[in-house]
Structure 1
Amino acid sequence: MAQVGTAETGRGDAGRPDTDPGTRRAGIRRVIRVGSRPEPWKRGPVLAALALLLGLFMLLHAEIPNRIGNLGSLVESLLPWFGLFIPVLLAGALWRRSASAVAALLLPVTVWLNLFGGMLGDKSHPGADLTVVSHNVGADNPDPAGTARDLAASGADVLALEELTQQARGTYERELAKTYPYHTVQGTVGLWSRLPLSDTRPVDIKQDVGPLADTKPVDVKLAYNRALRTTVATGQGPLAVYVAHLGSVRVNPRAGFWTDSRDRNAQALGEAVAAEQNERVVLLGDLNGTTDDRAFDAITSQLHSAQDAAGDGFGFSWPAKFPVARIDQILVRGVQPKSSWVLPSTGSDHLPVAAGISW
């Protein structure tokens, strides 16, 4: 009886054909290639690290020191704009198909929304008792008469102007006289009102004087005093109103974010507000900084922003052509902001800001 061996049939004990050496090597290479391919959670470690750093950067912004070039204040002044890095990192994470980078972006998204998410909606309500407007009219404004007419048409009951020059002061007084029977000008700031004013006085905010003043070049046209305090007589009782124009800031390679004059003014203004006896206070003015900046702690610890409480959006006011920051403020205490908004541009490099308040 004939026997059939495995050697004759070319099959192994398991009945499978022998593998060709070339095919076996190709299979090994394929296994190595698939095994070395990063999984979604292993891809994009740099993107994931950047996302976490961005989140921590925004979360811990108050810990960034000011010792070198006032870096902390500079970051806080531009803090909302750091959110623009989130879609950039998200696009990179999707392109790399990195699950870890997408997950890491949850931190900066959460931090940004916690800081600024409330600014995305409209928080305004009807029923304001008084409308206030503040505007840095600009020392180089080519059309002060037109600016005055626009502001008079805004419906403001109380109108604060900053950066008034001696040359333009008369124009504003003439154009606003019909709408506002009461007004005061103290140096470069003024207040026009439909309601009577009393107890008006300049406020010493430790402003520099003379040719070495820490101010921008245009300020040589301006007089010394840059803040005032007055009382507006309303049907609900007296309202203390402050108008201020704090010192300018600069960014340069040698000094970094230079804010010495402004910070000194802010501290002095905070002290004046702290000494105010009236429970109802409104501060109007160009503070040359955002309320996120730690330099304004002496002020923001006592007053809160009408824009934050009752505004629609961020309310950026400067520069007028492409606003990137809200440095023109309406801050209140003892009254309720009902609405806050930005008015159309005038001949100034700032936009006017407005708010409706009630008792």
Structure 2
Amino acid sequence: MAQADRADRVSTAEAGDPGSGRRPAPGFLGVRGWGRDARGATTWRRGLALAVLALLAGALLAFHAEVPNSIGNLGSLLETFLPWVGLAVPVLLVPALLRRSATALLALLVPAVVWANMFGGLLTDKSGGTGDFTVVSHNVAAANDDPQGTVRMLERSGAQIVALQELAGRPLRAYESGLADSYPYHAVEGTVGLWSKYPIGDVRVVDIKMGWTRAFRAEVSTPQGPVAVYVAHLPSVRLRAGGGFTVNQRDVSAQALGDAIQAEPLKKVLLLGDLNGTMNDRSLAPVTSQMRSAQGAAGDGFGFSWPASLPMARIDQIMSKGGLKPTDSRTLERDGSDHLAVAATYRYQ
């Protein structure tokens, strides 16, 4: 009996009984309380499910291009909202801390590092001084019930070149009359238009395989020299029950637009429009592979443009190629559209 009592006291002391005079061994990174739990699981054995979820988030970020589009175009859907995958880090961090799981915390470093490598640069201000002219692109929305307010917003932007999408009927007449004083030159083809303080010439429709006009090319004579300006509104993408994320028509149009830009004879080229896709979306590669995003090169933050009430994706784009250097990129104030207008300033090189 005495031997059994002695063994019990030794066991209690090793477990860290306050009366034993011994302290429990420190846990993860020397922090006490991260040892075994009531079930005997160590900090390395707890939270394995959280660790798996963290590694999955990291894999989606790092290998998003491997997610197939063959099933509901899930790859493009993921890439449209790819920055938001990073929310997995703070969401999983809380239960990882509550579980006191060293394994889950270390696993969370994977998506955190990958996200920072992919998007961290967007969080810094990359504006680079003054430019020669400013451009604006805006899907004004066919249902916009305040075109006059949109006109005032565009005039306040200080832009020399403005591209609009979803133009039709009475609102189109309101834009034409409202912008006439500030922008003496303009061209409208189908449901897209271009307004400019500089002369516009050589306007040509770009066939993006939709059956009606939603893209054109024009030559704008800036004081620094001619610039080919493409205005485009690619087909909308849709989430459909049983049909997934439908982007097939948008992809065909993106290829046609990319082919037209590639064949452009002028060296300095701008693309302004609602592309219904982000720079991460592989389906826009015919365009994005040959052009530079103003937001990525000179913006401050993600510059999300849609939906205007709670912007979650940058689907309205301003891109360039040739000797045009973006010095600033931003979104404008909200108006009557479901999109935010996007603006960029360029320096002619």
TM-score by length of structure 2 reads 0.89
What is the aligned counterpart of 2:264 among 260, 276, 285? 276
CA distance in 1, matches of 2:133, 2:7: 86
The C-alpha deviation readout for 1:26-60, integer Å capped at 9, x for no partner, is: 86699799796232222211112221121112111
CA distance in 2, matches of 1:76, 1:238: 35
Q: Look up the match of 2:53.
A: 50
What amino acid does structure 2 have at the position aligned with 1:331? M
2:2 is the alignment partner of 1:19 = yes
Q: Look up the match of 1:350.
A: 339
2:298 is the alignment partner of 1:310 = yes
2:319 is the alignment partner of 1:331 = yes
Q: Look up the match of 1:123.
A: 126
TM-score by length of structure 1 reads 0.87
2:294 is the alignment partner of 1:294 = no
CA distance in 1, matches of 2:63, 2:239: 23
What amino acid does structure 2 have at the position aligned with 1:305? S
SS at match of 1:356: strand
Q: Look up the match of 2:176.
A: 173
CA distance in 2, matches of 1:138, 1:315: 19
What amino acid does structure 2 have at the position aligned with 1:169? L
CA distance in 2, matches of 1:285, 1:105: 37
CA distance in 1, matches of 2:106, 2:179: 57
The C-alpha deviation readout for 1:215-274, integer Å capped at 9, x for no partner, is: xxxxxxxxx210010011112211000000010111022110011221111110000001
CA distance in 1, matches of 2:131, 2:283: 31
CA distance in 2, matches of 1:110, 1:353: 29
Larger Rg: 1
SS at match of 2:2: coil
CA distance in 2, matches of 1:166, 1:229: 22
Alignment of 1:132-171 (within 5 A): 132-171=135-174
What amino acid does structure 2 have at the position aligned with 1:76? E
Q: Look up the match of 1:14.
A: none
What is the aligned counterpart of 1:82 among 72, 80, 85? 85
What amino acid does structure 2 have at the position aligned with 1:19? A
CA distance in 2, matches of 1:49, 1:248: 35
Alignment of 1:217-296 (within 5 A): 224-296=212-284
CA distance in 1, matches of 2:62, 2:226: 40
CA distance in 2, matches of 1:246, 1:138: 14
What amino acid does structure 2 have at the position aligned with 1:254? G
CA distance in 1, matches of 2:116, 2:312: 18
What amino acid does structure 2 have at the position aligned with 1:339? D
CA distance in 1, matches of 2:41, 2:9: 20
Question: Could you tell me how far 1:67 is from its partner in structure 2?
Answer: 0.4
> Alignment identity in percent?
54
What amino acid does structure 2 have at the position aligned with 1:345? R
SS at match of 1:105: helix
Q: Look up the match of 1:340.
A: 329
CA distance in 2, matches of 1:353, 1:57: 28
The C-alpha deviation readout for 1:149-191, integer Å capped at 9, x for no partner, is: 2212210100000000122211111100000010000010000
Question: Could you tell me how far 1:291 is from its partner in structure 2?
Answer: 1.1
Question: Could you tell me how far 1:318 is from its partner in structure 2?
Answer: 0.6
Question: Could you tell me how far 1:103 is from its partner in structure 2?
Answer: 1.1
CA distance in 2, matches of 1:75, 1:30: 54
2:50 is the alignment partner of 1:62 = no
SS at match of 1:95: helix
CA distance in 2, matches of 1:45, 1:347: 48
- Range with greater deviation from structure 2 (43-52 or 108-117): 43-52
SS at match of 1:183: strand
SS at match of 1:318: coil
Number of equivalent positions: 327
The C-alpha deviation readout for 1:321-345, integer Å capped at 9, x for no partner, is: 1111111000111110100000001
CA distance in 1, matches of 2:146, 2:56: 47
What amino acid does structure 2 have at the position aligned with 1:337? P
Query: Relative to structure 1, is the Cα distance of residues 64 and 21 closer, same or farther in structure 2, using a 3 angstrom cutoff?
Result: same
CA distance in 2, matches of 1:342, 1:299: 21
The C-alpha deviation readout for 1:5-41, integer Å capped at 9, x for no partner, is: xxxxxxxxxxxxx626467568669979979623222
CA distance in 1, matches of 2:59, 2:153: 44
Mark the runs of 5 or more structure 1 residues left unpaired by the alignment: 1-17, 210-223
